[in-house]
């Protein structure tokens, strides 16, 4: 319960982002890009029912599904978001931030994806169609971003009937942006560069220079040349993107014929990156 109470501000913030994305960006331009909020936009246009009321009813149904398939823990975490979402849609003013539909889709989708990803990160949910992706992940190992894309694709099809073909295309574009942003957040925001360095005669000098330049650990691998068959040492170091240019300059100054491989790492967790040593 204490953990749940600590998460309330985070859930409230994430739900507020979703409310802003719907009422200020997607809704005013009739973009129903999936989710119960998308169903709410469609129902509001077709039947004249307030979108917040539609979301409240659908979330109530999804809570039952959550309890049956995901268990009591997920149910408890979902209750808060399920109640907060219709409240957010009722409170956040329905205004058109920009008249440019493309900008609205891009920013609205990115804001929506950020809100949903924050909820997924802490094991919470806004209810509605964010529940099926969690079920797909539990029983089939499917990524939540892909699960959300599949679930919302069905809802997006109804844009053709209710609004028209152009709105349908914009809704698809919104889904793609949402999926990309969610995948980016899910795979980690602490992106770094892994740098592997090989030098014929200056490995020790480079290692000493790296220790002096940045306060990072260095791993030394024993490797064998595929052509020569000679054994040599290879260095690997994890760096922030800002540190990489300076390190590359240091390496080139010592041995401009060294072989350097750099690739992006989605997330790094540990000493020097996610926490610092005491003292």
Residue 37 to residue 45: CA distance in whole angstroms: 12
pLDDT, greater one: 110 or 175:
110
DSSP 3-state of 258 = coil
Cα–Cα distance for residue pair 142/148, rounded to 1 Å: 10
Q: How buried is 95 (Cβ within 10 angstroms: 0-12 exposed, 13-18 middle, 19+ buried)?
A: exposed
Q: Is 228 left (phi over 0), alpha (psi -120 to 50) or beta?
A: alpha
User: How much is the pLDDT for 8?
Assistant: 85
* Confidence (pLDDT) at 140: 85
pLDDT of residue 267: 63
The mean per-residue pLDDT over the stretch 128-135 comes to 80
Residue count (the chain): 279
Q: What is the pLDDT of residue 189?
A: 61
pLDDT at residue 184 in the model: 77
What pLDDT is recorded for position 131? Answer: 81
Instruction: State the pLDDT confidence band at 276, using cuts at 50, 70 and 90.
Output: very low
Domains of the chain plus CATH, in order, are 2-186 (no CATH), 192-265 (3.30.70.120)
Report residue 275's pLDDT band, with 50, 70 and 90 as the boundaries: very low
How many other CB atoms sit within 10 Å of the CB of residue 271? 10
The predicted model gives 101-114 an average pLDDT of 93
Distances (CA, A) of 231 to 197, 200, 202, 207, 223: 14, 10, 14, 18, 6
Angle at 79 between CA 75 and CA 82, to 5 degrees: 125
Q: What percentage of the chain carries pLDDT values higher than 90?
A: 26
Is 263's pLDDT higher than 50? yes
Give the pLDDT of residue 106.
94
Cα R_g (the chain), whole angstroms: 24
Q: Is 98 helix (H, G, I), strand (E, B) or coil?
A: coil
pLDDT higher than 50, residue 279:
no
Alpha helices, DSSP H, located in 194-243: 203-213
> What percent of the chain has pLDDT above 70?
91
- Return the closest-CA partner of residue 95 out of 104, 84, 86, 106: 104
What tens digit of pLDDT does each residue of 23-82 get?
999 999 999 887 888 899 999 988 999 999 999 999 999 889 888 998 887 787 788 888
Determine phi and psi for 265, rounding to 5 degrees: -110, 130
Distance CA 272, CA 26 (A): 41
* pLDDT value, residue 77: 73
Rounded mean pLDDT of the chain? Answer: 84
Give the integer Cα–Cα distance in Å for 16 and 10.
Answer: 10
Residue 190 has pLDDT above 70, yes or no: no
Residue-level pLDDT at 278: 37
Cβ atoms of residues 116 and 182 within 8 Å? yes
Q: How confident is the model at residue 22 (pLDDT cuts 50, 70, 90)?
A: very high
State the average pLDDT over residues 232-244.
86
pLDDT score, position 92: 94
Residue 20's pLDDT is 95
CB 192: neighbour CB atoms within 10 A?
19
Predicted local distance difference test score (pLDDT) of residue 188:
63
- Residue 277: its pLDDT value, please? 41
Q: Please tell me whether residue 214 adopts helix, strand or coil conformation.
A: coil
Give the pLDDT band (50/70/90) at residue 182: confident
């Amino acid at each position: 319960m204490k953990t749940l109470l600590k998460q309330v501000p985070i859930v409230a913030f994430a739900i507020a982002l979703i409310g802003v994305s719907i009422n200020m960006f997607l809704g005013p331009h009739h973009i129903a890009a999936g989710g119960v909020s998308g169903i709410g936009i469609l129902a509001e246009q077709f039947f004249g029912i307030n979108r917040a009321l539609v979301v409240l009813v659908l979330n109530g149904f999804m809570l039952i599904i959550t309890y049956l398939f995901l268990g009591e823990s997920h149910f408890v975490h979902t209750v808060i978001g399920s109640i907060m979402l219709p409240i957010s849609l009722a409170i956040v003013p329905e205004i058109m931030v920009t008249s440019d539909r493309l900008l609205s889709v891009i920013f609205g989708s990115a804001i929506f994806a950020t809100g949903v990803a924050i909820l997924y990160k802490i094991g919470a949910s806004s209810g509605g169609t964010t529940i099926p992706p969690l079920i797909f992940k539990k029983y089939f190992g499917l990524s939540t971003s892909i699960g959300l894309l599949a679930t919302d694709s069905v809802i997006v099809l109804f844009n053709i009937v209710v609004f028209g073909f152009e709105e349908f295309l914009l809704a698809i574009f919104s889904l793609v942006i949402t999926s990309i942003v969610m995948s980016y957040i899910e795979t980690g925001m602490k992106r770094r560069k892994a740098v592997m360095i090989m030098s014929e005669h200056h490995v020790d000098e480079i290692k000493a220079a790296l220790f002096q330049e940045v306060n990072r650990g260095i791993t030394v691998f024993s490797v064998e040349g595929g052509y020569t068959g000679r054994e040599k040492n290879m260095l690997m170091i994890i760096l922030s993107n800002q540190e990489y240019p300076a390190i590359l300059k240091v390496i080139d100054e010592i041995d401009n014929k060294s072989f350097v491989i750099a690739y992006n790492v989605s997330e790094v967790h540990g000493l020097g990156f996610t926490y610092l040593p005491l003292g």
